[in-house]
């Protein structure tokens, strides 16, 4: 029997809520935590646990049919991938921040400055729209430490509770975008799997409505 293949974040903030929404849709997944692949017993679905940043490429290549992923990741590296549902969880911002004690008047202050980030495309596009040119330093994690160790003047990263900024003596100065978890679809999904997706979307919409 044909199954729809869904990518879910392997570990991290989206993982738990992604599995929860599938569960709320009445889709049970046999979950050995360390397994990278799981199959549902009561719905034609296979789950692949993947790294967030890899998911846009898997969708593009049609290795998976759908994914639960942060909109921010698609904006950074999956602008060609379509979103079919917003899922109303894992809400966050992608923001620019600078050391608390540095004076700030406008985004022009970033001109010629060094910015550490894991979201280079997002930052460049934003600064370009404001006519600002900065020097990007791309790092994959613990971005907020960069100004404290003299690696950058500011950072651009995800802000959720704001506690990472606070702990690192940084202040948010520009919100580039707001994001939440979304259901995204591969451009290569087959007609047969589109039918399964329709059934899933119907359940997801009911769950989201009930949650309000």
Binding footprint of ligand PRP on the chain (CB under 6 A): 12, 141-142, 144, 157-164
Name which of 22 and 158 has its Cβ closer to ligand PRP.
158
SS3 102: coil
Name which of 85 and 157 has its Cβ closer to ligand PRP.
157
From the CB of 112, what's the least distance to ligand PRP, in Å?
A: 25
C-beta nearest to ligand PRP: residue = 141
Name which of 75 and 208 has its Cβ closer to ligand PRP.
75
From the CB of 49, what's the least distance to ligand PRP, in Å?
A: 16
The residue among 45, 36, 79 whose CA lies nearest residue 60 is 79
| CA–CA distance, 205 with 161 (Å, rounded to integer) | 27
From the CB of 83, what's the least distance to ligand PRP, in Å?
A: 21
> Are residues 111 and 39 in contact, defined by beta-carbon separation less than 8 angstroms?
no
| CA–CA distance, 61 with 55 (Å, rounded to integer) | 10
* Six token digits for residue 2: 């044909």
From the CB of 56, what's the least distance to ligand PRP, in Å?
A: 17
| CA–CA distance, 109 with 67 (Å, rounded to integer) | 38
């Amino acid at each position: 029997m044909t199954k729809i293949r869904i990518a879910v974040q392997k570990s991290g903030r989206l993982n738990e809520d992604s599995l929860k929404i599938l569960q709320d849709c009445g889709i049970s997944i046999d979950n050995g935590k360390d397994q990278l692949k799981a199959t549902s017993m009561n719905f034609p679905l296979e789950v692949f646990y993947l790294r967030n940043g890899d998911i846009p490429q898997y969708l593009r290549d049609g290795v998976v049919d759908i994914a639960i992923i942060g909109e921010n990741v698609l904006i950074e590296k999956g602008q060609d991938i379509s979103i079919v549902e917003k899922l109303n969880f894992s809400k966050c911002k992608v923001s620019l921040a600078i050391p608390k004690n540095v004076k700030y008047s406008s985004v022009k202050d970033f001109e010629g400055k060094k910015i550490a980030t894991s979201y280079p495309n997002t930052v460049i596009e934003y600064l370009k729209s404001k006519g600002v040119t900065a020097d990007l330093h791309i790092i994959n994690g613990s971005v907020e430490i960069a100004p404290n160790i003299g690696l950058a003047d500011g950072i651009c990263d995800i802000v959720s509770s704001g506690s990472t900024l606070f702990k690192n003596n940084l202040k948010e100065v520009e919100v580039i975008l707001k994001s939440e978890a979304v259901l995204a679809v591969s451009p290569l999904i087959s007609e047969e799997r589109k039918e399964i997706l329709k059934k899933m979307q119907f359940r997801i919409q009911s769950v989201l409505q009930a949650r309000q």
